[in-house]
Structure 1
Amino acid sequence: MATEETTQEEDPPKKSKMPLILGLVLALAGGGGGFYATWSGMILGSGDKEKAEIQKEEVKDPFGDIAFVAVEPMVISIDAVPESRLLRFRAQLEVPKSYEADVTLVLPRVVDVLNSYLRALEVADLEDQAALTRLRAQMLRRVKVVTGQDLVNDLLIMEFVLT
C-alpha cells in the first residue's frame, strides 16, 4: 500500500504552452497589420490623393534648381621644413540657378579667400585623415561670408592633391 500512495502523489503532467505562443504570434501579427494599415492610410487616412501626387511630382526632380560654378584650379605652395610642397586644388560651388550669375560675378573674391586660407595651412594640417572634412567646412564658411549666406549651398572638392 505504501507504494501505491507514492505514485499518486507525483506531480500532474504540465500543460502545453502552445496556446500561449500561438496567441502571442497572432497578437504581434495583428499589431503589425494594424500599424501598416494606419501608416499607409488605409485606416484613418486623410484620403487626399492630390497631396500624394503633388509630393511625388516634387520628388521626381530634386536637383532641378541647382547649378555648379567652377572655381579656377589653384596650385598653392605649402612651406615644409626640408622642401617646399605644392597643393593642387580644384572645386565647384553648388548654387541655386537663380543666383548662378551673382556667384559668378564675385568668383574672384571667392578665389582670393580660398587662396589665402589654403596658403595659411601647414603640411601637418593636411595629413590628418579628417583634414579634408574640416577644411571643406572652413572653406564653405568663408565662401558664404564672401557671397552671402543664401547664395551658395555647398562646396564640392574636385581635386585635392599634395605633391
Structure 2
Amino acid sequence: MADATADEVPVEEKSSKMPLVIGLVLAVVGGGGGFLAAQSGLIPGFESGGLEKAAEPEDEEKSEPTVAFLPMDQLMISLPAHSSNQYLRFRGELEVNKKYAEEVSLLMPRVVDVLNTYLRAVELRDLEEAAALTKLRSQMLRRVQIVVGPGKVTDLLVMEFVLQ
C-alpha cells in the first residue's frame, strides 16, 4: 500500500492566462480612448493645442534678438618646420549677450591674445585628429569666457579653420 500512495502525486493545473491578456487589452484600449477624449476636447481642462500656443511668441515683430556677433581678427599660426603644413589660419566670431557686446568688444585684444597663445601651444597631432575642431572650439570658448567673465560670451563660432 505504501507504493500506491507514492505513485499518486497530485498534479496542479496551470492557471489560465486569459484574465491577464483580457486585462492588458482593456488597459491599452482604455488608454487610447482617454487620449482621444482628451485631444478632442471631450474632457474639460484638456484642450488640444495648449502646448503649441504656449511655445509660440505672441508678436514676432516686437521680439528683438538678444545676442550679438562680434567678429575676431584673423589669426595666422606658424606650425613646426617638420610638419607638412606651414600655417594654421583661424577666424571666428563671438556670440555674446547683447547687453555685454560693448564690454566684450573692449576686451577683444585680450581675447585674441589668449586664443593666439593657446593655438601656438597646440601640438600638430591634436590638429590632425578627426574631432580636433570640436575639442579646440570648446577649449577656446572656455578660455574666452574666463577672460571676459561669466555669462557674457555664449558661443564661439568658427568661421575659418584652414591648415596650409
Q: Output the TM-score relative to the length of structure 1.
A: 0.70
Q: State the Cα distance separating 1:28 from its structure 2 match.
A: 2.5
Partner of 1:93: 94
Q: State the Cα distance separating 1:30 from its structure 2 match.
A: 3.4
The amino acid of 1:45's aligned partner reads G
Partner of 2:34: 34
Partner of 2:124: 123
Q: Does 1:71 align with 2:72?
A: yes
Q: 1:59 to 1:140 in 2, by over 3 A?
A: farther
**Any conservation in 2 of the 1:136–1:157 contact (CA below 8 Å)?**
yes
Q: State the Cα distance separating 1:149 from its structure 2 match.
A: 1.0
> What is the alpha-carbon distance in structure 1 between the residues aligned to residue 52 and residue 116 of structure 2?
47
> What is the alpha-carbon distance in structure 1 between the residues aligned to residue 42 and residue 97 of structure 2?
38
Q: How does 1:4-153 map to 2 (within 5 A)?
A: 24=25, 27-35=27-35, 43=43, 45=45, 55-57=55-57, 64-81=65-82, 85-153=86-154
1:125-152 C-alpha deviation (Å, 9 max, x unpaired): 1010111111111100100000001110
**What is the RMSD of the two structures over their aligned residues, measured on CA atoms?**
3.5
The amino acid of 2:163's aligned partner reads L
The amino acid of 1:104's aligned partner reads S
Q: State the Cα distance separating 1:59 from its structure 2 match.
A: 9.7
State the secondary structure of the residue aligned to 1:72: coil
The amino acid of 1:153's aligned partner reads T
> What is the alpha-carbon distance in structure 1 between the residues aligned to residue 81 and residue 59 of structure 2?
49
Unaligned runs of 5+ in 1: 1-16
**Any conservation in 2 of the 1:73–1:90 contact (CA below 8 Å)?**
yes
The amino acid of 1:114's aligned partner reads L
Partner of 1:10: none
Q: 1:119 to 1:54 in 2, by over 3 A?
A: same
Greater share of helix residues, 1 or 2?
A: 1
Q: 1:56 to 1:77 in 2, by over 3 A?
A: same
> What is the alpha-carbon distance in structure 2 between the residues aligned to residue 58 and residue 75 of structure 1?
46
Identical pairs, percent: 49
Unaligned runs of 5+ in 2: 1-17
